[in-house]
Structure 1
C-alpha cells in the first residue's frame, strides 16, 4: 500500500495527509461469515442498522456503535438471496469494501476472519495472525506482467507496536475463491510464501490500496491445510472455538487502537 498519509493528485505531486497524525476516529470491520461476525457484534455491543446505507436489494448488513473514542462499523456481506448461505469470497468482499469506504469514509479497515493455516510455516489450530502481505493464488495469467497482476501482491498496513503489545503472530496471507486447494493453488501459495489462506483478504487489500485506506488483517486458524484431516471437516469442527479466539483478538486490537493515531500503531 502507499506510504502512510500520502497520495498523488492529478499533477503527480505527493500530498501529505494529516490523518496519520490525528487519533483514529472511524473503523470499518469486514467479516465474511455470520458465525464469525456475531460474537464480535456482541463483544463490542454493536447495533444492527435498520435502514441500510447501501443500495436497495443488496444483502449487506451493517452493525455500528462506539468504543470509547472510536466509531465502529462492522459490515457482514449477508446471506446469498437465492441459496441463503454466507456471501463469502472475493466478489462480495470487494463490493462491500468499496461501498463501505464510499459511505463511511473510515480511517482504518480491519478484515477479521478464520483461515486455513500451514503447519510447514508454523501455524496451529487457534493461532491468530496479523497478515504482513496479501496475494492471490488462483488468478493464473501466464503472460509477462499480467502474471504479477494476477498475484496482486499488496502490503498490509504495518502496525509494529500493536503486534508487539498484543504478542500476535505475523504471516503472509494468500487468497482464493475455493475452500479446498488444488495442486496449482498449492504451488502458487508456496510461491506466495503464505502461512495462512482465506477467501477475502487480498480482494479487500486491493480495494483498500486503490482508495488509499490503511487495512489490517486478523486471521484465526481453523484448519491445517497441509495436515491429515479433510479441510471442510476440520473447519467445521473448529469454527466455534476459533471464532471465540478471533473475537477476543479483535476486541484487544480495538482497545489498543483507541486514542492512537495511525502512526502510533
Structure 2
C-alpha cells in the first residue's frame, strides 16, 4: 500500500511553531483520570468512533475557549474489564489519534509515582522535560540507547513561568512496582517521576513530529515506606482532581497561543 502523502504533509505543516493552536489531543490512560477533565471541558463521547472497528478506544470531544479539545482514553480491556494501561495501548491510541484528528499539540496527562529523594510529594504536579524507558534493557552498544529511548518534551518556558509547576524527568515502564534493575535504570535516567505511558507517547509524537507536553500528578512515593499499589489506590481519587485542575490551567494558557508562545 502506498504511503498516504497527504497525512504526512499535514504533520509536517502542523509543526509550524507560529500558527495558533487549534486542535489538541489529551492522551490519558484511566477513566478515573479522564472524567474530571471531560466534565471540566463539557465534552461528549463520540457516537461514531473515528477509530478502527473493534477497538475499545474512547474519544471525548468538544470546543473549549476556541480550541478543538479531544480526550482519548484507551478504554477497558475486552476480557478483564480493567483500564487498558501501559505502553502498548498508549502508543497505539496516540498514533491512531494523530492520524484521525491531526492535532497541533498532544498533552499526555496522568498520575505517576514520585521519588522523595528528588523532592516529590503526594499531589505534586510535574511537567516532564524529558521522557525515557527504564525496562527496555538491551546491553548491546547503541541498542542500549535505543532501549532507553530518551526524548524531549515540548519546550514551554512561558507556560512554566506562569503556572509554576515542578519540572522533572519522567521514566516509563510497564510495571507498577519497581525491581532492583528498574531502580538502577530509573536512577540512570535521573528521573523524578515514573509512569506507564509517557515515553511511549513520546516515541510516537517524536516519530510523527507533533509537539507533546507531559503533565503528571504524583499518587505514590516510590522510595517511601508504603506499598506502591496501596498508596496509589488510596490517593488516586484526590490526585486525579489535582491533575484535572492542572490540565485545565494548561489548556486555559494554551488557548489563543501558538506553540512558539508556550
TM-score between the two structures when normalised by the length of structure 1: 0.94
> Are 1:159 and 2:138 counterparts?
no
State whether residues 14 and 104 of structure 2, in contact with CA within 8 Å, keep that contact through their aligned partners in structure 1: no
Partner of 2:215: 218
Q: Which one of 131, 136, 139 corresponds to residue 133 of structure 2?
A: 136
Q: Which one of 197, 202, 206 corresponds to residue 199 of structure 2?
A: 202
> Are 1:112 and 2:95 counterparts?
no
Which whole-Å CA distance do the structure 2 matches of 1:241 and 1:212 have between them?
A: 34
Partner of 1:42: 39
> Are 1:259 and 2:256 counterparts?
yes
Partner of 1:26: 23
* Residues 21-40 of structure 1 deviation map (CA, whole Å, 9 limit, x = unaligned): 11100000000000000111
Which whole-Å CA distance do the structure 2 matches of 1:219 and 1:99 have between them?
A: 22
Which whole-Å CA distance do the structure 1 matches of 2:138 and 2:115 have between them?
A: 25
SS of the residue aligned with 1:20? coil
Q: CA shift at 1:230, angstroms? A: 0.2
Q: CA shift at 1:19, angstroms? A: 2.3
Which whole-Å CA distance do the structure 2 matches of 1:107 and 1:120 have between them?
A: 36
Which whole-Å CA distance do the structure 2 matches of 1:219 and 1:208 have between them?
A: 17
Gaps of 5+ in 1: 1-7, 10-14
Partner of 1:5: none
Partner of 1:54: 51
> Are 1:92 and 2:126 counterparts?
no
Partner of 1:3: none
The runs of at least 4 consecutive aligned structure 1 residues that moved more than 6 Å come to 15-18
TM-score between the two structures when normalised by the length of structure 2: 0.95
Gaps of 5+ in 2: 1-7
Partner of 2:5: none
> Are 1:189 and 2:191 counterparts?
no
Which whole-Å CA distance do the structure 2 matches of 1:178 and 1:68 have between them?
A: 37
The 3 A distance-change label for structure 1 pair 18 and 126 is: closer
Q: Aligned-residue CA RMSD in angstroms?
A: 1.4
* Residues 56-101 of structure 1 deviation map (CA, whole Å, 9 limit, x = unaligned): 0000000001112100000000000010000000000000000000
> Are 1:244 and 2:245 counterparts?
no
The 3 A distance-change label for structure 1 pair 121 and 102 is: same
> Are 1:81 and 2:78 counterparts?
yes
Partner of 2:68: 71
SS of the residue aligned with 2:174? coil
Q: Aligned pairs, how many?
A: 253
Partner of 1:12: none
Q: CA shift at 1:180, angstroms? A: 0.1
